[in-house]
Structure 1
Amino acid sequence: MSGAATLERRAVTELRASGRKLEGYAALFGSEARIGSFTETIAPGAFRSALTGDVLALLDHDQGKVLGRTRSGTLRLSEDTRGLAFSLDLPDTAAGRDVLALAERNDLGGMSFGFTVPKGGDSWSGERRTLRTIGLKEISVVQSWPAYPDTELALRSRHHDNDARRRRALILAEVSRAIG
């Protein structure tokens, strides 16, 4: 293994539209998600270091459909007691108009986020993983089903108990509804 961090994705279904702005939470602290054979939670403060970097807002994790970014000020991120809050000014592009139309009809699937976990950024207790530091790369508006709470084939990280290194594997994650 090269040691490069693998991009992972998780999702939440809380968002609202107001004018050409989309707001909500891209992640919630303390909510449990069942990811294959393990349970995962996000600790408060996990996104703190990511708030100073350039984070993209995408449509369905598609790098060709940029909706905004923190560097330009069209995406604003903050942590509060609930999780990673966002406010996104939707562009007047085909993707932006599609998102706005779907949001107004309440047809969007939710929010998701793509991230890496730096060395020491997670901890394990048996089959429970806690994300303590997240290298946030992007948040995504998801048109259909987010990575969880529904079932999806996705790249997940799994702790390797024998040598304390993480190995990466493609697994079928059957995820229970962690966020109600």
Structure 2
Amino acid sequence: MPTPATKPNPDGRETRAITRGLELRAAGEGEGRTATGYAALFNVETDIGGYWKETIAPGAFTRSLRERDVVALHSHDTGRVVGRKDAGTLSLREDDTGLQFSNDLPDTSDGRDLAVQIERQDIPGMSFGFRTRKEEWDETVDPPRRTILEADLFEITYTAFPAYPDTSVGLRSLEHARAERRHIPPAHQLAERRARQAQMERGIR
């Protein structure tokens, strides 16, 4: 039975990448180019480093899109912003497939370069940065399955080299879920208890 879990590290951010064709169209006469595509896909099972399988549930970004600003970046570089939701240059919406975006590329070197790179297919897909708010772990299967039910979205990124899935935050979350199911403290809490106990013993001596 799936085990509900919450993120043990509230600041833990993760990144995922998808390779799915991007499209480029004219924004209007004399108005540059607009990139469109998907930054995340729903109900698609992804292998995360061999540690677990992961899917993103439909509607996982609904709250985030309503409450948060989101930026479009080049290569995860916060100094290379090419679109922003609150500025109206980046639009994001969820549909049955996933998180769809439309980005009016700026008339800057990055924006012009991206238009060429997307057209040439040098940029094969997107990456996105998020923090999980609600999730479920199912350990009745091997490897375990993680379903992301709700997530804070921070960025979408154009990248020529989709990053290998990071696992540190997810592994801590799995450890936390297992500890909750067994009613025992996670490993980091056990380590803290042992350290406090050692300090007390030194004090007694």
Q: When the two structures are superposed, what TM-score results if normalisation uses the length of structure 1? A: 0.82
* Local SS of the residue matching 1:154: coil
The offset of 1:163, in angstroms, is: 4.0
Q: 1:141 aligns with which of 144, 155, 158?
A: 158
1:19-53 per-residue CA deviation (whole Å, 9 max, x = no partner) reads: 21000000010111111210000001101011122
Please name the residue that 1:162 is paired with: 179
* Local SS of the residue matching 1:132: strand
2:73 is aligned with 1:61: no
Q: Equivalent residues in 2 for 1:84-163 (5 A)?
A: 84-118=99-133, 121-126=134-139, 127-142=144-159, 144-147=160-163, 152=164, 154=166, 156=168, 157-158=170-171, 159-160=174-175, 161-163=178-180
Q: Pick the structure with more helix per residue.
A: 2
Q: 1:51 aligns with which of 65, 68, 71?
A: 65
The offset of 1:153, in angstroms, is: 6.5
Which of the pair has more CA radius of gyration?
A: 2
1:63–1:131 Cα change, 3 Å: same
The offset of 1:60, in angstroms, is: 1.2
The offset of 1:82, in angstroms, is: 0.4
The offset of 1:104, in angstroms, is: 1.2
How many residues are treated as equivalent by the alignment?
160
Q: Which amino acid aligns with 2:166?
A: A
2:23 is aligned with 1:11: no
* Local SS of the residue matching 1:97: helix
* Local SS of the residue matching 1:45: coil
Cα distance in 2 for partners of 1:39, 1:112 equals 18
Q: Is the 8 A contact 2:179 2:186 kept in 1?
A: no
Q: Which amino acid aligns with 2:57?
A: A
The offset of 1:94, in angstroms, is: 1.4
Structure 1, unmatched stretches of 5+, are 168-180
Q: Pick the structure with more strand per residue.
A: 1
Q: When the two structures are superposed, what TM-score results if normalisation uses the length of structure 2? A: 0.73
Cα distance in 2 for partners of 1:125, 1:3 equals 20
Q: 1:80 aligns with which of 92, 95, 102?
A: 95
Identity rate, percent = 44
Cα distance in 1 for partners of 2:167, 2:156 equals 16
Cα distance in 2 for partners of 1:29, 1:166 equals 30
Cα distance in 2 for partners of 1:44, 1:5 equals 23
Cα distance in 2 for partners of 1:101, 1:123 equals 41
